[in-house]
């Protein structure tokens, strides 16, 4: 029966850990994008992330949100000896193709674990063209 599982899953705790990591990875950086007449609103959930650990860029018609989360956990006995000490580090990144954005006027705020971006649309002047007479 042991042959039914790959060797990397032979340890039950390891298997559950990997499954849970995949579960949370797939749901990381949940993002909503709404379109309004003059701008797009982007909201990204980043609970537990500090504002200084978030980087937002807009280049080549692509909006990219990057975030880094580091956590330390320690358990000591009464004598101050470590029983368990864990460090975790996660990096999240999402990119979206967003054309015709007025990048000079993008606004960003971060409150209660939610990153909110306002991306104004470029004002595109309609060019009517010119009729060319045929001779």
pLDDT tens per residue, range 95-127: 999 999 999 999 999 999 999 999 999 987 777
Q: Residue 53 pLDDT > 80, yes or no?
A: yes
pLDDT digits (tens, 9 = 90+) for 25-41: 444 689 999 999 999 99
Short-list 19, 90, 29, CA closest to 63: 29
What pTM was estimated for this model as a whole?
Answer: 0.64
Q: Residue 83 pLDDT > 60, yes or no?
A: yes
Token readout for 131 is 């009729």
Q: Measuring CA to CA, how many Å separate 127 from each of 22, 33, 69, 124, 132?
A: 50, 29, 47, 9, 15
| CA–CA separation, 131 and 125 (whole Å) | 18
| CA–CA separation, 73 and 86 (whole Å) | 5
3-state SS string over 82-99? EEEEEEEEEEEEEEEECC
């Amino acid at each position: 029966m042991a042959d039914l599982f790959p060797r990397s899953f032979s340890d039950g705790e390891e298997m559950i850990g990997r499954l849970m990591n995949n579960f949370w990875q797939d749901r990381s950086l949940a993002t909503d994008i709404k379109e309004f007449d003059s701008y797009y609103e982007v909201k990204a959930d980043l609970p537990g992330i500090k504002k200084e650990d978030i980087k937002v860029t807009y280049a080549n018609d692509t909006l990219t949100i990057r975030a880094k989360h580091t956590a330390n956990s320690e358990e000591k006995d009464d004598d101050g000896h470590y029983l368990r000490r864990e460090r975790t580090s996660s990096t999240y990144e999402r990119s979206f193709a967003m054309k015709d954005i007025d990048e000079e006027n993008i606004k960003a705020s971060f409150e209660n674990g939610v990153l909110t971006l306002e991306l104004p649309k470029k004002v595109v002047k309609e060019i009517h063209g010119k009729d060319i007479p045929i001779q």
